[in-house]
A and B are shown apart, each in its own frame.
Chain A
Amino acid sequence: MQQVRPRMTRILCTLMITALMVPLFSACGSKEKSDVEKEQSAQPATQQEQKVEEKEPVTLKFPIWSTITEDLFNKLDLVNEYKKEHPNVTIELELLKDTEYENTMKIRNSANELPDILPLKSAWLINFKDNILPLDDLDAAKNNMFAADFKVNDHIYGVPESQFNEFVWYRKSVFQEYGLEIPKTWGEFVTAAKKIKDGGKYIPIAMGGKDAWPDYPFNEFMPSLVAGDGDYWSTMATIDEPFTKGQAYYDAYAKIQELYDAKVMGPDPLGIGFDQSKLMFASKQAAMIGLGQWFGSDLKSMKDVDMNDVGAFLLPVRDSESDPFNTISMVDTFFTIPKTSKYPEEAKEFINWFFSDAWYSKYLTEAQLQSTVKDVKIDLGPMFKGAFDMSNLNYVLYKGGSEDYKKIESAIKFDVKKMGQDMMAGKDFNKMMQEMNNSWKNARSKLK
C-alpha cells in the first residue's frame, strides 16, 4: 500500500502538470496567432491582395525543331518576357533535331509524356488529333486567319504561328553578270539556270539532295502549283491514276525532271547535304537556292554574307505569262496543347500571349515571316522588295492532305522527297510514274 501511494501521487502530479501546460501552450499559440493577425492587419491592402493572387509555380515545356527559332527566342528573351507578365510560369524550351522531331513526339506520346505546348506541322495535325485539345474557343484561334482552314473533324486543333512563301534566293551580281532578268515562266527559269551553267563559274542552283528534304520546293510543292490546288494531296486521293500524263502530278514532275536533267545543280547534287548547299550559296559558289522565306533570317545570321547582293523571287511554274502565277503560301508551326498537359489553362494563356501585339509583331519582324493574325502587318524588309510584284499572282494555301491520302501514303510509302532523289539519280521517269500509278490504284482499292 505504501508503494502504491507514491505512484498514484506521481501520476496525479503528471496529470496536473499536463493540465496546467496545455492552456499555457495554447495561450502562447493564441498570442503568436494574434501577433500575426495584428501584423497582417497592419499591412497595406494591396500587399494582401498580392499574397492572395500568388500562384503555384508552373513550368511549361515547349519544344522547338529549328535552331533559327531557338536563336530568335533567345535573342528576344522569350522566357523572361513571358515571366514579366506571368511570374509563376517558366517556359522550358527544348531544341530537337528537325528531322527527328515528329518521331520523338510519337515516342513521347506513347509514354504519355508530350510537352505542354506541342508545335506541329499542318500535315501532322491528323496524326495527333486524338491526343490534342480542341482550341475552338481560344482567342488566338479566333483571331487567326488560317486556323479554321486546317480544321480536323470540324475542330481547330492548332494555331499556326506564321505564314510564308517559297522563294528562289538569288545572287543579284551573278544575274547582272550574265544579263539575266527575274524569270517569269518555268522555261525562263530553266534557261537562266542553263546560262549560268554554261558560264562555268557558278553552280546555278545549290541543292542539298543528300538530305532529301531540300528538294521540297520542287517535288513537294509543284504538283499543287501546277494544279492551283493547295489541297492537291486530298484531290489525288480521289483519283486512281494521278501519275498519268495530263494530270497535275505528272505534268509538274515532268517539269522537275527537265530541270534535273539539265544538270544545273552542280556535279553531284545528291552528294551534298543542306548545310553544304547553304554554304555554297552564302559563299557565292552557287547563284540560286530554292527555299522558304525562313531562309532569310538563317542567311542573315551567317558570317560574311553580303545581304545587299541577295534577292528573292517566287518560283515560276507557269508555262506562259498569260497564265496565273501560282505561288505556295505555307502556314507553319501549329501550336497545339496535348490532352496530357498538366497545365492546359496556363498553356492556353501562353498561346494567347504569344499572338498578342506585345510579342507577336516583334517576333515575326525579327523572323522575317508573315502574320497569321488578322490586322497584323509585318515589314519584311528590303530583301523581298519587288518579289510579289507579279501580275496574276495567285496564293495557293498548302495543306497536308486528308485521312484517305494519309492511308494511301502509308500503304505505298509514298515519299515525294525520295522520288526527287531518284529523279536526280537518273531513274527512268516514265517507268517510275507507271509503277506509282499501279501502287496508287491498288492502295485506293483497299481504302476502307
Chain B
Amino acid sequence: MQRNILLFSFLFVPVLLLLMFVLYPLFELIRLSFTDWNGMDAKQVYIGFDNYMKMFTDSSDVWLSLRNNGFYFLFHLIMIPLELAVAVVLDSKIRANKFFKTVVFMPYIINGVAISYMFAFFYSPINGGLNGILEVLGLESLIQNWLTDESIVNLSLVFVSIWRFSGFHIILFLAGLQSIPQDQFEAAKIDGASSIQNFWYIIVPGVKKVLEVLLFLNVVGALQVFDIPYIMTQGGPGHASSTFTLYTLETAFKFNNFGMASAMGITMLVLIIVLNSVQKRLFNLKGVDEE
C-alpha cells in the first residue's frame, strides 16, 4: 500500500504534465485538423477530411516544399558514411585529436540563427565571402547567385545544414566507437584481420545503435528544418526554398488557415513515423545486443 502511494505521488506530477503539455495539445491538433478554423473566429466548422484532401491535391507548393525537405534528408544521409569515417580517424591516435574534435563539434554549439546570418553574408552577392574567395582564386566563372538562383538555392542551404550538424554526428559516432570493447580489435588482430575487415565486422556493428539514432534524427531534422531557410531566404525566391514547416507556418499565420496548418502538422507526424519505420526495416537496424 505504502509502495503504491509512493509510486502514485512520484508519478502524479510527471503524468499530469505529460497529459497537459503533450497529449492534450496533440488531441487538440488532431481535432483542429478537421475544422476550417481561421485562428481568430470563435466559430470552428467541422469539415471532415477536406484539409487533408486539399493539402495534397489543391496545392502544388506542398509537394515543392516536401521535395525541398527531401534534399536535406538525402544529402545528410549521404554524409553519414563520411561522418563515420572522420570519427574513425579522430578515434585513432592522431596528433592533436582533441583539438580536431573541438573544431568539428564547434558548429553544432553555435546558435542556429547566428549561423544562418553568417552564411547569408557569406553567400551575399554584394561583398559576399564566397564570391570574394572565388574572385581571389581567379574562379570568377563559378560566381553564382547562391541564394536566388532557383537551381542551386537548396544546395546552398543544405550545405549550411551539413556544416552545422555533421560535427554533432561525428561526436555521436565517436561515443559509439569508444563503447566497442578493445579486446574485439585485439582478437581480430591475432586472427590477421585487415583494416577494412575491422571496419566492416567490428566498427559498423558496434555503432549500429548510434546509426539508428542518427537516421531517426535525420528524418525528423529534414522534415522539420526551419531556421536556416527561414532566415536565409524566407523560403524564396517565391517558394523555391520553402520547406514543409515554413509552408505550414505560412498557411497558419499568413493565410489564416489554422485548420489546414493543423492537418499539415499531423501529416508531418505521420510522415516521420512512416519514414523512420521504413528506414529501420530497410537498413535492418537492430543493435548488436538485440540480435
Chain A positions within 8 Å of B38 at CB level? 127, 410
CB < 8 Å neighbour of B59 from A131, A413, A418, A425: A413
Closest approach, in angstroms, between the C-beta of A442 and any C-beta of chain B?
Answer: 8
Tell me if B93 counts as interface (CB < 8 A to partner A).
no
Query: Roughly how many angstroms separate A267 CA and B254 CA in the complex, as a whole number?
Result: 30
Query: Contacts A102-B253, A128-B40 given: A271-B236 contact, CB under 8 Å?
Result: no
- Closest Cβ of chain B to A278, distance in Å, is 13
B255 touches A409 (CB 8 A): yes
- Contact between chains at B236 and A109 (CB < 8 Å): no
Quick one: CB contact mask for A410-433 with B, threshold 8 Å, 1 for yes?
A: 100101001101101101000000
Q: Known pairs A110-B39, A418-B238; list 13 more (Cβ under 8 Å).
A: A103-B253, A106-B40, A131-B40, A211-B234, A271-B124, A271-B147, A271-B148, A272-B126, A276-B124, A410-B255, A413-B59, A422-B237, A425-B148
Q: Of B126, B150, B250, B251, which contacts A425 at CB under 8 A? A: B150
The 3 closest A-B CB pairs, nearest first, are: A270-B148, A268-B125, A271-B125
The answer, yes or no, to whether A130 is at the interface (CB within 8 Å) is: yes
Q: Does A210 contact B (CB under 8 A)?
A: yes
Q: Is B191 an interface residue (CB 8 A)?
A: no
Check: B214 CB closer than 8 A to any chain A CB: no
Task: Render B20-54 as a binary contact track against A, CB cut-off 8 A, 1 for contact.
Answer: 00000000000000000011111000000000000
A288 within 8 Å of B by Cβ?
A: no
Which positions 266-288 of chain A face chain B at CB distance < 8 Å?
266-268, 270-272, 276, 280
Q: Is A226's beta carbon under 8 Å from chain B? A: no
Are B126 and A271 neighbours in the complex by a CB distance under 8 Å? yes
Question: Chain B 207-243 against A: per-residue CB contact (8 Å), 1 yes, 0 no?
Answer: 0000000000000000000000000011011111000
Q: Which of A95-151 contact B (CB under 8 A)?
A: 102-103, 106, 109-110, 127-128, 130-131
Query: Which partner residue on chain B sits nearest A432 by CB separation?
Result: B238
* CB of A248 within 8 Å of the partner chain: no
**Interface size in chain A (residues, C-beta < 8 A):** 33
Bound complex: CA A404 to CA B170 (Å):
54
**A270 and B59 contact, CB distance less than 8 A:** no
Residue of B nearest to A270 (CB): B148
Contact B236 A418 (CB under 8 A): yes
Considering the chains assembled together, what is the distance between the CA atoms of A410 and B251 in angstroms?
Answer: 8
Q: How far is the CA of A266 from the CA of B145 in the complex (A)?
A: 12
Q: Which of A110, A128, A267, A418 has the most CB of B within 10 A?
A: A418
Q: Knowing A267-B125, A272-B124 touch, does A421 contact B237 (C-beta < 8 A)? A: yes
Chain B contact surface mostly: loop
8 Å CB contact of B256 from A212, A410, A425, A427: A410
A-B contact pairs, 11 of them (CB 8 A): A110-B39, A130-B41, A209-B237, A210-B234, A266-B126, A267-B125, A270-B237, A271-B126, A410-B38, A410-B256, A415-B254
Taking a contact as CB atoms under 8 Å apart, the answer to whether B125 and A272 are in contact is yes
Residues of chain B within 8 A (CB-CB) of A410 are 38, 255-257
Given A271-B126, A272-B124, A413-B61, residue A210 in contact with residue B239 (CB < 8 A): no
Q: Is the CB of B238 within 8 A of A422?
A: yes
Chain A residues lying within 8 Å of B240, measured Cβ to Cβ, are 425
CB of A130 within 8 A of CB of B124, answer: no
Q: How far is the CB of B241 from chain A (nearest CB, A)?
A: 11
CB distance from B31 to the nearest CB of A (A): 15
Q: Is the CB of B255 within 8 A of A413?
A: yes
Task: Give min CB distance, B45 to chain A, whole Å.
Answer: 10
A271 to B124, CA, bound (A): 6
Q: CB within 8 Å of A: which of B155-199?
A: none
Task: Report B141 CB to chain A, min CB distance, Å.
Answer: 15
Complex Cα distance, B168 from A84, in Å, reads 57
- Residues of the B chain whose Cβ atoms lie less than 8 Å from the Cβ of A127: 38, 40, 256
- Tell me the complex Cα distance, A425–B236, Å: 10
Kindly list chain A residues whose C-beta atoms are within 8 Å of the C-beta of B128: 271
Q: How far is the CA of A419 from the CA of B239 in the complex (A)?
A: 9
> Do A268 and B148 form a contact, CB below 8 Å, given A103-B253, A410-B256, A413-B59?
yes
A270 to B145 Cα, complex, angstroms: 9
Q: Using Cβ atoms and an 8 Å threshold, which residues of chain A touch B148?
A: 209-210, 268, 270-271, 425
Which residue of A has the minimal Cβ distance to B240?
Answer: A425
Given the complex, which residues of A lie within 8 Å of B146, measured CB to CB? 271
Distance in Å: Cβ of B76 to nearest Cβ of chain A: 25
Known A-B contacts A110-B39, A271-B148; A425 and B253 likewise in contact (beta carbons under 8 Å): no
Judge whether A421 and B238 touch: CB under 8 Å.
Answer: yes
| Cβ-defined contact, B147 with A210, below 8 A | yes
Closest to A414 in B: B255
In the assembled complex, the Cα of A295 lies from the Cα of B136 at a distance in Å of 37
A171 to chain B, nearest CB (A): 18
Query: Chain A contacts of B257 at CB under 8 A?
Result: 410
Write out, one digit per residue, whether chain B residues 248-278 have a CB within 8 A of any chain A CB (1) or not (0): 0011011111000000000000000000000
Q: Within residues 200 to 243 of chain A, which ones have a CB less than 8 A from any CB in chain B? A: 209-212
Using Cβ atoms and an 8 Å threshold, which residues of chain A touch B150? 425
CB neighbours (8 Å) of A409 from chain B are 255
Most buried by A among B145, B233, B236, B239: B236
Q: Roughly how many angstroms separate A127 CA and B61 CA in the complex, as a whole number?
A: 24
**Chain B residues within an 8 Å CB radius of A110:** 39
Could you give, for residues 339-350 of chain A, a 1 whenever the CB lies within 8 Å of some chain B CB and a 0 otherwise?
A: 000000000000
A106 to B39, CA, bound (A): 7
Residue ID in chain B nearest A106 by CB atoms? B39
CB contacts under 8 Å to B, within A50-103, are 102-103
Interface centre among A413, A424, A427 (most CB of B within 10 A): A413
CB <8 Å contact, A109 and B40: yes
The interface residues of chain B lying within 8 Å CB-to-CB of A266 are: 126
> Which chain A positions have C-beta within 8 A of B256?
127, 406, 410
User: Given the complex of chains A and B, what is the CA–CA distance between A424 and B240 in angstroms?
Assistant: 13
